[in-house]
Structure formats: C-alpha cells, structure tokens
Structure 1
Amino acid sequence: MIPPIASRFVAGETPAEALDHVAELNDGGVNAIVNLLGEHYHDRGPADADADAYVDLVADIAHSDVDACISVKPSQIGLGVEDAVFEENIERIASAADEHGVFCWIDMEDHETTDVTLDAYERLATEYDGGVGVCVQANLKRTRDDLERLAPLPGKVRLVKGAYDEPRELAYKKKERVNEAYREYLDYMFEHFEGGIAVGSHDPAMIDYATDLHEEHGTEFELQMLMGVREDAQFDLADDYEVYQYVPYGGKWFSYFYRRAMERKENLLFALRAVLGR
C-alpha cells in the first residue's frame, strides 16, 4: 500500500487503483494518461512482463467507463536490452491499443534514445492511423528538425521542456534559452501541425502562450500536466480546454515519488509537512 505522503503523486499500486483515480478526474472534466512505473531494464524478462502489463491495462481501460490513454517508456519495454526487443514490445502494445480504441503515447528519454523512438513512432502512427503519440524535448537543439519531420504524420506530439542532463553541445542549458526554444517550437507546431499538439507544461506563461496561439490559429491542442502538480489549475483549465493528467501507478513508486518531491520547492514542502504531521 502506498503511504499517504506519496499518494499525491502516485495513484496506487494496481491498475484498479489507478482507474479509480481516473474516474475521479473524469468527474471533474480532466482526462488521464496512465503510466505503469518502471524503466531502464537491461534484461528481457522484466521488459516483456511490463509490456504484458500494458496490454492488460489497455483491456482494463477499454472495459471500464473512463476516459484514459496510456504512456510507455522505451527503456521500460526493452530498449536497454536491444532495439529489436523495444520494437517488438511497442508494436504489440500499440496493436492492442488500436484493437481496443485506446490512444498510446511513447515517452521520450535521453538523447541516445531519440532516433529509435522517433522511428518507432513514425512507423506506428502511420500503421495505426494516428492512434499513437510521441514526446519531444525543447532543450534539445535537434528538436526543430524533428518537428519538421513529424508535422506531416498522423498522431500527436507532446512538447516538454526536457528533464535529462544532456551534453552541452546537444542541448540548451540556460532556463531562459529553453523557454525561448519552447515558445519557438510552439509557434511552429500551431502554424504547421493540423492538430495533435500536446503542451506538456505546468508553466503558466507557456500555457498562456499556447492558448493565445490556439486563438490565433484555431489549431486543436491539449494540455498535459502531472498528478499532484497544480491540480487546481488543471480542473480550472478543463473548463475551457482539453486537459490530461499524467497518472503513474505501480509497485516501483518510491523512486518516482522521490523525484517529484525533490524537483520543486512546493513538492518538497508538501512532503515535509506530511512527515511532520502538519
């Protein structure tokens, strides 16, 4: 059982607990992206097991009365073993998702995984007529070229600022430059994409920038935010825009909770208050 201190950021250890949380979100007008916690496997056994779990999760979503999709980390389903294992597992997850009418996101990890991840997305988004999405990161200097490649494809593209400590020659390091790149990439996406834009950010300035671009271009988009972060804003924004909450669950909750607690001062203060009983 997940302790109350972590339950702000993690929906539970089981699919049933995660879908109960999703149902509560849906009641407030917020959709969900469900993610089974786990990553960086170097043996095929656990990678295949998590891929199996995603296939089962897709069926659970399809048979429940909730509005949810899934999101999968490549290193969780075999990329750390070899490319072919990842490609095999993401194919069968995407196939199951297509069969059940559940959208499938492919998360993006560090720069060494970008090419194989985008190759898989291009193939699957075409094969499954846009039922697959992928994430790109504004801090990587290559992202403008990647967006030009992705613009004609069906499917969705999520833009985030980027959380990995990438080499300076490949990535922007200063916060101001990353923000500048994020705005530049949003400009490009709202002008050149026909839809399928996902704005992955909690930054009010970037959300306002995206909504202004929506008003200017009329291009459809959605907002994506994490469970436990600015949740009041998520429900407020859902009155006017399509909002998705990223909902993690599973037995590997501790390392995820630790990252969330440490990455923002507000999250750390929440965790400390919970420990102190205040």
Structure 2
Amino acid sequence: MALVTVTELLQKAEVGNYAVGAFNCNNMEIVQAIIAAAEAEKSPVIIQASQGAIKYAGLEWIVGMVKLAADKACVPVALHLDHGTSFEQCMQCIRAGFTSVMLDGSKLSLEENIELTNRVLAAARAVGVSVEAELGKIGGTEDDITVDEREAMLTDPREAKVFVERTGVDSLAVAIGTAHGQYKGEPKLDFQRLKEIRDLVKIPIVLHGSSGVPDESVQKAISLGVRKVNIDTNIREAFTYAMRRALDEKPKEIDPRKILGPAREATIELIRQKIKVFGSKGKA
C-alpha cells in the first residue's frame, strides 16, 4: 500500500490507547527488518530518517527504499523526518516524498520555535504532510545533534499549552527525562510532568530517546498519552552486535549476506518485541 501520514496512524492510536513505533533506518537491511517485523505483528509502523541516515544513505535512496517497502507491505507505513533542523530541510524532505516531518526548534526561544513551526506547518498542510514539533531539550546525542546533560531542560506544561494553541501542530515531542544514545543508568521519567502536559495538550505526545527505557515505564507513558515512541539506539545495538557475533564465529567470512543477514534477523526480533510493548500488535 502507499505511504500514509503519521497523523493518520496516531489518530487511530489515540482512539485505541496505544503507541506506534517509530524506528530509525540507515540501510536496506534495517528498512527490510522494520517492515518484516511490522507485518509479522500486523502493526502500523513509522520509518524515520535522521540527519546521519540522510548523510550516509542519501535522501533519494532512503525515499526509494521506503516507498518500495511500503508499496509491497500489507500494513500501513509512514516515512518521517527525525529532528529536521531547518525549514529548508523539511521542505526538501516533503518534496522528496516524506509523509511527515519533525521540525526541531527546541533550541530556539518559545516565540522563535512557534514562528518556525508555523512556517513549516503552512507549507506541509498544503500538501497533506503531518508535522511534529519539539518543546524542551532532550539530552544526549543523536547523529550530529547534541544537547549537553547540563543544558537539557524538561518541557514546561504551560509552555506546551501555549505552543500547541498557537501552532496547531499534529504531535508534540516532550522532554520528561529521556535521552538520546545509550544510558549510563536507568532513566527516571517525570510522569507527573507528562500527565500535566497531557491534561493541557490534547494532541498525540511523542517520546524520544526511548531505547533503554524499561518496558513498564514506556507503557506507563503510553497510558498517559504518548502515541509515538522513537527507537534508534536499540536498533543499532541489535544490528551491530549480531554482525560482530557472525564475524567472531567465522572471522574469515567475506560474504556480506552472511554477515548482514543475521543482523537483519536480530533487528526483526527486537522490533517485534517493541511493537508488543507499545500495544500496536494487531492494529494494522
């Protein structure tokens, strides 16, 4: 089936009180793994491309792979830009065929973030593309985007209300204690803050930096209004660890298929587990 928008998927998740997994891709095998896992669990799915993925694989290659995968898939698939850095990049991705973009204006002032988000919204709405924004700073590192732990700021619920009222954005990424990359310890999520945000903001909430967050914490966040859960680091771990095992077992192996094949299978299993945690199994 053709690509769908993230808004379409999250509206159904809102009604069903579950979350849709948003999984980052970097190569063909990971795209295949995301689709295979979603089909096995009969789940809708969001495939994301980050700054690093676009630089590594190329924008046209990512769009081509995901469009082909979606056309052949028997479940709904959306293609989303993760952490778009500018109006220009969002437009570039929309023109290329993305059905959803994230404008990350979290480093800007509230007024600047609202202004830039509204610019993206005006253009995206004209062509039926959904838009995610971010308020508050999520710690850690994702590709070229870094927020120092000391600078990381949790989302102010009152600012979230103002932001959504003045933009009408489709979904909102909030900072409640998660971080990008690998955690040094178990993350402690501020559920009270999430509840306050949700009470004031009646749109789908997005949880970034979810790799490494305990399943029970993710599920509690979903019960409090999170409808999109981002997973990147866990995919990198599953993929690369499986590659290493394959090479450790056969250090003289030179067939890429016998190295990347097991990595793809490990990634499928990881994503299937995440889909079950998010509650989207059987929702396609």
The two structures have a TM-score, normalised by structure 1, of 0.52
Contact 2:131 2:170 in 1 (8 A): yes
Q: Deviations over 1:95-136 (max 9, x none)?
A: 236534312222227xxx535532234435xx56xx323251
Which of 47, 50, 53 is residue 70 of structure 1 equivalent to?
47
Contact 2:157 2:200 in 1 (8 A): no
| Residue 208 (str. 1) matches residue 195 (str. 2) | yes
Q: Deviations over 1:41-80 (max 9, x none)?
A: xxxxxxxxx3323442353145322433222223223x26
Which of 62, 77, 90 is residue 102 of structure 1 equivalent to?
77
Contact 1:132 1:156 in 2 (8 A): yes
Separation (CA, whole Å) in 1 of partners of 2:157 and 2:90: 19
Which of 33, 39, 61 is residue 57 of structure 1 equivalent to?
33
Q: What's the CA shift for 1:155?
A: 1.1
SS at match of 1:227: coil
Q: Deviations over 1:71-91 (max 9, x none)?
A: 2223223x26xxxx7331232
Q: What's the CA shift for 1:190?
A: 4.3
Separation (CA, whole Å) in 2 of partners of 1:135 and 1:199: 13
> What is aligned with 1:136?
104
> What is aligned with 1:146?
116
Contact 2:22 2:229 in 1 (8 A): yes
Contact 1:223 1:244 in 2 (8 A): yes
Question: What one-letter code is carried by the residue in structure 2 that aligns with 1:34?
Answer: F
Contact 2:191 2:221 in 1 (8 A): no
What is the 5 A alignment of 1:78-89?
79=55, 86-89=58-61
> What is aligned with 1:221?
204
Unaligned runs of 5+ in 2: 1-16, 142-146, 178-189, 242-284
> What is aligned with 1:249?
235
Separation (CA, whole Å) in 2 of partners of 1:53 and 1:91: 14
CA pair 52-233 structure 1, distance change in 2 beyond 3 A: closer
SS at match of 2:27: helix
SS at match of 1:229: coil
CA pair 145-230 structure 1, distance change in 2 beyond 3 A: farther
Identity %: 13
Unaligned runs of 5+ in 1: 1-27, 37-49, 166-170, 254-278
SS at match of 2:225: coil
| Residue 32 (str. 1) matches residue 21 (str. 2) | yes
Separation (CA, whole Å) in 2 of partners of 1:149 and 1:196: 16
What is the 5 A alignment of 1:231-246?
231-246=215-230
Question: What one-letter code is carried by the residue in structure 1 that aligns with 2:163?
Answer: Y
What is the 5 A alignment of 1:191-206?
191-193=166-168, 195-199=170-174, 201-202=176-177, 203-204=190-191, 206=193
Q: What's the CA shift for 1:157?
A: 0.4
Separation (CA, whole Å) in 1 of partners of 2:218 and 2:149: 28
Q: Which runs of 4+ in 1 moved over 6 A?
A: 171-174
Contact 2:102 2:132 in 1 (8 A): yes
SS at match of 2:23: strand
> What is aligned with 2:274?
none
Contact 2:139 2:149 in 1 (8 A): no
